[in-house]
Structure 1
Amino acid sequence: MSEQIGLRAATAADEPMLYELYASSRQAEMHMWGWTPKQAEPFLRMQWHARKRSYAAEFPNARDQIIVKDGKAVGRCLLAARPTYWRLVDLALQETSRGQGIGTSVLRILQQRAAICGMALRLSVSPDNPALRLYERMGFAHKGGTEMHLFMQWLPGQDIDHMKGELR
């Protein structure tokens, strides 16, 4: 049976899952600091709310979407439209859903939609984030950055061999 990967609009009911997704992305950091889950919880809640406010201020019209696999929520995709490109603000998967091709499928969906609309896709990623290899594999090119974040871009028609036959 073929797995179905898709996107749907996020709702208020998704907030607990979105928080858990965020908190899980910070677990290594909390462990490094020696914090117990009880100690980390208030800090993570504060950081989660600060990040939500920051995203809302910087990307007020961003589309918050839930990544679904066979109807089950497994991640998040936050995409902001700009006049000449789409900015992938956040792409995150639950730890148990990583390494299964879901991120590849979501990026393929975004690239197909961007190609149809003639839009570039841009993102930033930490140099030590394992997703960097995925973005490179999916045709995103390095466009500068800082010590903390690499800026990457994918252009319609650029390195889309993996999409041939899928845009029909």
Structure 2
Amino acid sequence: MTDKNCWTNRVKLRRFTEQDLTFMEQLYAAGRVTELAMTPFSDEQKSLFIKQQFTAQLTHYTTHYNSEKFEIIEVDGQMAGRLFIDIWDNEIRIVDIALAPHIQNQGLGGYLLNKVIEQGRTLKKPVTIHVEQNNPAKRLYERLGFKEKSRTNEVYILMERTCC
């Protein structure tokens, strides 16, 4: 299912609640599987590491960004990911986007990012996102018109999609 219009009636965004934290932690863990496979950690150590890192990330996000737009992505009524954006005076920042493995590579990420880009056009603001240099999602961002704006520590790239 790659047709962007197929998502219109299937996708709902809603603000995350405390009841979503277990799902959000599982989603975070799913994104770290490959990285943690390269460590000598036991399963228990991996679990503790994930819990600590997830808690630190969520605390950072909710402390430094407007959490009104920290949303759970639902597809056909089932939790499928998270999309956190913050609207600043001069840009719309995509703080985080993560999709559950079972829904990846079906066009949902592009659909959601295009919705944010449309919002940027409406508000006449560029859309920005940080991505790790080797993250495969970088190719999607480039296909959607995001360009490198700056780098931090040769690891993180700030990408920008101009609106107008």
Q: TM-score, normalised by structure 1?
A: 0.86
Matched, 1:97 2:97: no
Matched with 1:150 is 157
Aligned pairs for 1:152-167 within 5 A: 152-157=159-164
Q: 2:35 aligns with which of 29, 52, 55?
A: 29
Tell which deviates more after alignment, 123-132 or 31-40: 31-40
SS at match of 2:83: strand
Structure 1 unpaired stretches of 5+? 158-168
For residues 26 and 71 of structure 2, the distance between their equivalents in structure 1, rounded to whole angstroms, comes to 16
Given that 1:65 and 1:77 are in contact with CA atoms closer than 8 Å, whether structure 2 keeps it comes out as yes
Q: Which amino acid aligns with 2:50?
A: L
For residues 68 and 132 of structure 2, the distance between their equivalents in structure 1, rounded to whole angstroms, comes to 21
Matched, 1:7 2:33: no
Q: TM-score, normalised by structure 2?
A: 0.88
SS at match of 1:129: coil
RMSD: 1.7
TM superposition shift of 1:62 = 5.3
Given that 2:94 and 2:128 are in contact with CA atoms closer than 8 Å, whether structure 1 keeps it comes out as yes
Aligned length: 157
Structure number with higher relative contact order (C-alpha < 8 Å, ≥ 6 residues apart): 2
| Greater than 4 Å deviation, 4+ residue runs | none
Percent identity, aligned pairs only, is: 29
